[in-house]
Chain A
Amino acid sequence: MNPILVFCEQRDGHLKKAGLEALGEGCRLAGKGGREVIAVLIGSSVDSLAADLAAHGASRILLMEDEVLDHYSPELYTSGLAEAATRVRPVAVLMGATAMGKDLAAKLAARLESALLQDCVALEIEPNGTLVGTRLLYGGKLRAIVRATHPISQVATLRPNVFSPLEPRAVSGVPVERLSVRLDRTRPMTRVREVRGAAEDKRELTEAPIIVAGGRGLRGPEHFKLLEELAKALGAAVGASRAAVDAGWKPHASQVGLTGKTVSPQLYIACGISGAIQHQAGMSSARVIVAINNNPNAPIFNLATYGIVGDLFEVVPLLTEEVKRLKQEDRK
C-alpha cells in the first residue's frame, strides 16, 4: 500500500496549524486503507518539531534541513518534496491551503504531472487510492466534487480551520529520517530578502479561528477600536466589509468577501455589516456566524446562527466586558 505524504508547514520554527490539520486528515484517510502517514518537514534547524508531528499522528517523519531552506523557496521546497515523493511513492501528498501550501502544491503537481485538488473543504479516498475532494468555486457560490484520474501522487491542499488535527498523544519510536537532497543552487530562483509583519492586524484573517468584522454600520474608522477591543478579548482577528475598505477605514488586507479574502473561521462576528452577496461569498463557510445589526431586515440575518438586532455601539462593548469576565472566571 502506498503511503500518504503530508507536508507540515513551519515558519520560524513554529508548526502551522493548517499543517497539523492536514496531518490529522491524512491519518483519517490512511486509517481507511491501512496506509502509512509520512510527514515531511522542511526548514533550517527544525528537527525539534519532529516529536510534535509524531504526537499528532505521523508514523514516519522525513526531515530536510538546510540553511537555505530557512525561508520558503518554491524551487527548493518543490525539489525537496518531489524527492520525497519519488522515494516513498505516495498515493497522495497533502498540505494546508496556506499561501505557502497553495503555491507549493501547484508547482509540485506540475512537476509530478499529477492531479491538484486545491483548497478542499472535504476529502475522501477510494479503495484504489483515488482522491475525491470537495472544493468551493465562484467565491463559494458552488461546490464541486472533483476526482483525480490517476491514483498516483495526487496533490491536495486543505482549507485551514475545516479539518481537525488529532489530539496529541505521547508516542515514542517514530522514525525520523533525514533526507539529503542535492539542492541545485545555480538555477535561477527566487530569494526571500525579508519577511515583514503586516503593519496591522497581527492575526492573519484566513488563519484566525475567530474573526470580528465591521462594516458601514460602524460609521467611521475610529469606531473600529470597539471591534479591536472585542477581538483582543476573544483572541480574534479583525476583518472588514467591502464598504468599510472602499471607504478607506481599513486596509485591503482585512477585506472579507468576493474581492477580498475568503475565510472559514469557527466563529465570525459581523458588526454593522448588512451582508451583501459579495460579502457572504467570503464568509458563508464559517461554522458559527453572529450578526449584530440595527436593521432587522439585513440579509446577514438569513445567514447568522445567532442574530442580535440592536445598536452595535451598545452591544459590542457589553460583549467585550462579558467575554473578559468569562475569561477571568476561567482563570480562577
Chain B
Amino acid sequence: MRRRCWTTSVIRLVGVAFWYPQWGADKWGRRVGKEFVGEDPRQTLEVDVLFVGGGPANLAGALRLTQLVARHNEQVSTGERPGRMLEPRIALIEKGRDVGAHALSGAIFDPVALEELLPDYQDRGFPFVQPLIRHDFRYLTTESSIRIPDCLLPWARRHGRCYLGSLQKLNLWLGEQVEAAGVSVFTETCGVDILYDGARVCGVHTGDKGLEAGGGKKPNFEPGTAIHAKLTVFGEGPYGTLSEDLIHRFNLRDGCSPQSYALGVKELIRVGRTGAPGVAIHTIGYPLGPRVFGGGFCYGLDDHHFAVGMVCGLDWDDPQLDVQAQLQRLKKHPDIQRFIKGGTVVAYGAKTLPEGGYFAVPRLVVDGAMLVGDSAGFVNVPAGKGIHYAMKSGMLAAETIYEALVEEDTSAARLAVYETRVADSYIMRDLYRGRHFRQAFAYGRLPGLLLGELTAWTGWGPRKPRRARCDFQTLRSLGEARSKRWTREPAQYDAGVMVDKLTDLSYSGTQHREDQPSHIRILDPVRCVNHCIPRFGDAPCIHFCPANVYELIGEGQSRRIQINFANCLHCKTCVIKDPIDVLATDHIQNISWRAPAEGGPRYQGL
C-alpha cells in the first residue's frame, strides 16, 4: 500500500513535468478544456453550429441541418410557418487532409439512412456502385472451412440490399454534398480543447500548427483558432479525444458499462485478373483461437480490388497478439488466397470500433453539445455495421439542432429530445436486440456464438448488463495467456501480397512532421520497464499497435520504449489497451494520446 502511494506521487510529478507543452491538461494528460473568454487574443471564428469530425455521422448531420433550414426558410417565405428566416453559420472541422482521409471501414453499407437523407443519391455520383451479391459466413480451420448456412445466422448477419465500397470515398462524396449545401468545411483542422462558458460547451479551440518538437514556434507558426459555436456536435469516431474529455467532465457514462472496443486492420489488394465483385466473406475461427473475439472479412469491391481485414475485440489476453500479423495469417488461408493470390497491397489502415453496444451508450447531450456516431458507440456488433447508425444519429441530432435554433435554446434540457429520438429510432432498437451478443463472447467463442446469436435473434436476455471489464484489464502474462497458442505462430512474409507491418504502414500514407511535438506520451516511462514488461513478459504496446509506433530499444537497464509518433494511424488502440493504469479509479492509462494538430494517415480507398 505504501509503495503504491509512493509511486503515485512520483507519477503525478512526472506526469506534470512531461506534459509540457500541453499546458491546460490535467496531470493525466486529459484536457480540462478552456474557459470561454469574450475576446480571445488569438483568432476567433463565430459560427452557430460546429460539427467536430468529418465522418458519416457529422456529414449526414450537417447536410440534414441545411435541408431543414432550407425547408424552414421556404415555409417562412411562403407564409406557411410563422417566425423568422434562419441563417445559421454551420462549420465542420476534420483533422484529416481531406474529408475521409481518416475514415476506414469494411465496408458493407446499408443505404437506409442515406435514402432518407438524399432520396436521389444515385443521381449525385454516389460512390458505392457495387451491390452486395453473395454473402458467405465461414468458419475457418487451419486448412479448410465450413460455410455456416444463412438459416443459422441471426437476423442481423443477413445483409439485405447493401453495397460494398470504401468509406473514405463515401465521406469524400458526402463532404462535397455538404460543402455544396453551404457548410464551411475545414480540413486539416483539429479540435484540441473544448471551450466552456461555465458548464456550457461553447465551441472548440483548434490546434496550433508549426510547432517545434520542444514546443517552440517555427517561422510558419500558425496559432489555433477559437471556434465559438452555440452548439457543438462531437462525432470524432471511437474514443474521440474531445468526446472523452466531455464524457469525463460531465460523467456521461455514469450508470453504463464501460465501452469496449475492437481493433480492425484492413488492406486493399489489387489483383490483375477479374476478381469477384459483390462477394463478401466473413470468417471466424482461424487464425484466432477461441479466446479472441473477432474474425476476418474479404470483400470483392470491384473487378480488381479486394478489401481484406481482421477485427479483434480488444479484450484479448495475450500480450503478444498482433492483429496485423493475424491478418497476414488469414490471407494465407486457402479460402482467402483463392481471391488475392498474385495481388499487391495498395492501401492499409487501422481503426478501432466501439463494441460495447446498448449498455455502453453514454448520455448524449450536455448544455451546448451532443455526441453522435462512433463517439457515442452506435455500432451494431452482431450485424457488424455502424455507418448507417452513425448517419442516422447525425440526422436525428440535426433535427434537434434545428428545433433548438428555432427556439434559440441550446440547453441540455432542450437537446434531450435527441436522446429520446435515438432511443425511439432503429439505432437503439437494433442495439437493444444485440445487447448481449458481444458480452456473451466473454464465455469463449462457441458458447458466446450460441448465446450471442440466440439473444440477438430473439432479443431475449436480461435488461441489465453483465458486469463488463475494461479492455485494458484483460491482459495476462505470457505464461498465463490462454489465447496465445492459437495466435503465436509467426506470419510469413514475401515480396508480393504478404507484407510486414512497416511496408503495410507505408501504404497507409501516414505522415506527421518528424519535428512536431509528439502527440503520444508515456506519462511514466519508468513503469514500462519496471512494471509492465516484468508483469507481462513483453511490452504489449509493441505488439498491439498496428503502426509500429512503439519500439522497445536498448538492453538491460537502458531498455525503454521509443515512440515513433510519425507512424501513428490514429486508431487509439494504445490508449484503450495499455494495461498500465496510472490512476486505477479513473481509467487513466500510462499512454496518453491526443489528436495532433497536424498529420495523420491519408487513406485512399479504405
* A contact set with B: CB distance below 8 Å: 242-243, 246-248, 274, 276-277, 295, 297-299, 302
Contacts and interface: CB of A to CB of B under 8 A. Distances in A.
A276 B502 CA distance: 8
Interface string B496-525: 000011110011000001110000000000
11 contacts: A242-B514, A243-B514, A246-B513, A247-B515, A248-B515, A276-B502, A276-B506, A277-B506, A298-B502, A299-B500, A299-B503
B493 A297 contact: yes
A298 B502 CA distance: 7
B152 interface: no
B37 interface: no
A272 to B, nearest CB: 12
B182 to A, nearest CB: 36
Contacts, number: 26
A154 to B, nearest CB: 35
B495 interface: yes
A293 to B, nearest CB: 11
A247 B514 contact: yes
A276 B509 CA distance: 10
A302 to B, nearest CB: 6
Nearest to B512: A246
A302 B515 CA distance: 28
B515 A246 contact: yes
Interface of B: 493, 495, 500-503, 506-507, 513-515, 566
Contacts of B507: 277
B501 A297 contact: yes
Contacts of A302: 495, 503
Contacts of A274: 502
Residue of A242, A276, A295 with highest tally of chain B CB at under 10 A: A276
B502 A297 contact: yes
Nearest to A243: B514
Contacts of B502: 274, 276, 295, 297-299
B514 A297 contact: no
A299 B514 contact: no
A298 B500 CA distance: 8
Nearest 3 A/B pairs, CB to CB: A246-B514, A297-B500, A277-B506
Nearest to A280: B506
Contacts of A247: 514-515
A184 B500 CA distance: 61
A243 B514 CA distance: 6
Contacts of A297: 493, 500-502
Residue of A242, A243, A299 with highest tally of chain B CB at under 10 A: A299
Contacts of A298: 502
Contacts of B500: 297, 299
Residue of B500, B501, B507 with highest tally of chain A CB at under 10 A: B500
Contacts of B501: 297
B505 to A, nearest CB: 8
A246 B495 CA distance: 29
A73 to B, nearest CB: 33
Contacts of A246: 513-515
A247 B518 CA distance: 13
Given A246-B513, A297-B502, 11 more contacts: A243-B514, A246-B514, A246-B515, A274-B502, A276-B506, A277-B506, A297-B493, A297-B501, A298-B502, A299-B506, A302-B495
Contacts of B495: 302
Nearest to B501: A297
Contacts of A242: 514
Contacts of B566: 243
Nearest to B500: A297
Contacts of A276: 502, 506
A247 B514 CA distance: 6
Contacts of B493: 297
A246 B503 CA distance: 21
Nearest to B505: A276
Nearest to B494: A302
A141 to B, nearest CB: 12
A133 B500 CA distance: 36
Contacts of B514: 242-243, 246-247
Nearest to A300: B502
Contacts of B506: 276-277, 299
A299 B503 CA distance: 6
Nearest to A295: B502
A247 B502 CA distance: 20
A328 B513 CA distance: 44
Contacts of B503: 299, 302
A242 B503 CA distance: 17
A274 B505 CA distance: 12
A303 B256 CA distance: 52
A242 to B, nearest CB: 7
A4 B31 CA distance: 70
A277 B507 CA distance: 8
A274 B514 CA distance: 15
B133 to A, nearest CB: 34
Nearest to B564: A216
A246 B501 CA distance: 23
A211 to B, nearest CB: 21
A223 B506 CA distance: 26
A56 B503 CA distance: 44
A299 B566 CA distance: 17
Nearest to B553: A219
A290 B501 CA distance: 21
A274 to B, nearest CB: 6
A121 to B, nearest CB: 23
A246 B566 CA distance: 11
A247 B566 CA distance: 12
A274 B503 CA distance: 9
A248 B501 CA distance: 27
B18 to A, nearest CB: 20
Residue of B493, B495, B503, B513 with highest tally of chain A CB at under 10 A: B503
A207 B501 CA distance: 34
Residue of A242, A243, A298, A302 with highest tally of chain B CB at under 10 A: A302
A175 B124 CA distance: 71
A297 B502 CA distance: 7
Nearest to B504: A299
A281 to B, nearest CB: 11
Contacts of A277: 506-507
A172 B502 CA distance: 58
Nearest to A296: B500
A277 B566 CA distance: 14
A242 B511 CA distance: 11
A276 B503 CA distance: 8
A274 B551 CA distance: 13
Residue of B493, B495, B506, B566 with highest tally of chain A CB at under 10 A: B506
A274 B548 CA distance: 12
A49 B500 CA distance: 53
A276 B515 CA distance: 17
A297 B548 CA distance: 11
A25 B536 CA distance: 63
Contacts of A243: 514, 566
Nearest to B514: A246
Contacts of B513: 246
Nearest to A274: B502
Nearest to A247: B514
B460 to A, nearest CB: 48
A142 to B, nearest CB: 14
Nearest to B493: A297
Contacts of A299: 500, 502-503, 506
A299 B513 CA distance: 20
B270 to A, nearest CB: 14
A298 B501 CA distance: 9
A299 B502 CA distance: 7
